[in-house]
Amino acid sequence: MASDRASGEDSLIARYFKPIATDPGAFGLDDDAAIISPSGDDIVVTTDAIVEGVHFLADDPPDTVARKALRVNLSDLAAKGAGCAGFVLTLALRNADEAWLTAFARALGEDAELFACPLLGGDTVSTPGPLTVSITAFGRVAVGKMVHRSGAKPGDRIMVTGTIGDAALGLAMLKGTLAASAAARAMLVERYRVPQPRTALAIAVRDRASAAMDVSDGLAGDLAKLCAASGISAVIDAPSIPKSDAATELLSRGMVSFETLVSGGDDYEILCTVPAAHAEAFVDEAQRRGVAVREIGTVIAGNDPPAFLDGQGREIRLSRLSYSHF
């Protein structure tokens, strides 16, 4: 990014993004590159893009688009046990709409401050296609301490933060295929538009979890990925999966299925496995940090896909595990 007198792209960057790029490593976006200073830690790198019409809707407010773009990346860092170090932004825009960019940049700056994750640089390009926001985020974790998908062992407890399935219901409401009370609708739509990355849990994940990932494509599919990476299987007690009151009511009224909740995307909660000896301490620590966490099952040996059992111990068959782009 660069601010200068010669180019529309550069004046756009100077106007909207320079004011929020206050980290010394960003060089005020006046240079071609940013610096992450060495701290002796491993630098954790994650990248996630959101596309208009795919990950957010064309009429989603610009501030929620900004927050979602950053937060889906912060969710990954938290699930890996890493603290935030900064991010770079690539914005592909059809046009430079002043009102949109003002609201987008202001929200991005607020979130960068809220999560102590500074904007370091980026690229702004024109596109004839949908608005696309691609963010690469950086975290720090002590050398070798990043939490992988692959460390789960039989006997470990399976934990998940927050509530599952709300975002998928919020999207269904925005698409007009599901209805609920105004209050429930507002909550579910907010869950779709503005994820809550569990950054407060990063240290506990780093210190206690044997494996972890964030739930972005659906709990069922993402758990299957964690099992495959760890070479284990899992048994899940379906009634234990944390649900919002709104989701519980829609489920009890038969308006949505269990499968919708556990195969829908955009939860951005942390799924992790914790050795039994650490489970209580992990839950306590989460509570102290204000993050709701629930034990939903147990890791078992084997290569079968995870089994979801109902209140009577019968397996719930799922025809679809997760959202896939292709």
CA distance 303 to 50: 33
With CB under 8 A as the rule, give the number of residues binding a second copy: 82
Q: Which of 19, 98, 127, 181 touches a second copy (CB under 8 A)? A: 127
Judged by CB under 8 A, the stretch of 119-127, 164-172, 176-184, 281-289 that binds a second copy is 119-127
Quote the least distance from Cβ 263 to a second copy, whole Å: 10
Task: Tell me the three-class secondary structure of 161-211, residue by residue.
Answer: ECCCCHHHHHHHHHCCCCCCCHHHHHHHHHHHHCCCCCHHHHHHHHHHCCE
Q: Say whether residue 162 binds a second copy (CB under 8 A).
A: no
Collapse the DSSP code of 314 into the 3-class scheme (helix H, G, I; strand E, B; otherwise coil) and give the result.
Answer: coil
What are the tokens at 294? 């629930």
- Tell me the Ramachandran region of residue 319: left when phi exceeds 0, alpha when psi lies from -120 to 50, beta otherwise: alpha
Among 116, 125, 276, 277, binds a second copy (CB under 8 A): 125
Site string for a second copy, 60-99 (x = CB under 8 A): ----------------xx-xx-x-----xxx-xx-xx---
> Binding to a second copy by residue 51, rule CB under 8 A?
yes
Instruction: Output the smallest distance, CB 268 to a second copy, in A.
Output: 12
CB of 303 to a second copy, least distance (A): 10
d(CA 223, CA 217): 10
User: How many CB atoms are located within 10 Å of the residue 242 CB?
Assistant: 17
Q: Which of residues 16-45 bind a second copy (CB under 8 A)?
A: 27, 30-45
Q: Residues 57, 146, 173, 300: which binds a second copy (CB under 8 A)? A: 146
Q: Is 130 exposed, middle or buried (0-12, 13-18, 19+ CB in 10 A)?
A: middle
Which of the residues 224 through 253 are near a second copy (CB under 8 A)? 224-225, 228-229
* Nearest-approach distance from CB 230 to a second copy, in angstroms: 10
Give the sign of the dihedral formed by CA 22, CA 25, CA 27, CA 31: negative
Binding of a second copy by 217 (CB under 8 A): yes
Binding of residue 54 to a second copy (CB under 8 A): yes
CA–CA separation, 80 and 91 (whole Å): 26
Please select the residue that binds a second copy; options are 23, 60, 66, 124, rule is CB under 8 A: 124
- Name the minimum Å distance from CB 277 to a second copy: 25
Determine, following the binding rule CB under 8 A, whether residue 202 of this chain makes contact with a second copy. Answer: no
Under rule CB under 8 A, which residues in 257-316 are in contact with a second copy?
none
Q: Phi/psi of residue 259, each to 5°?
A: -60, -40
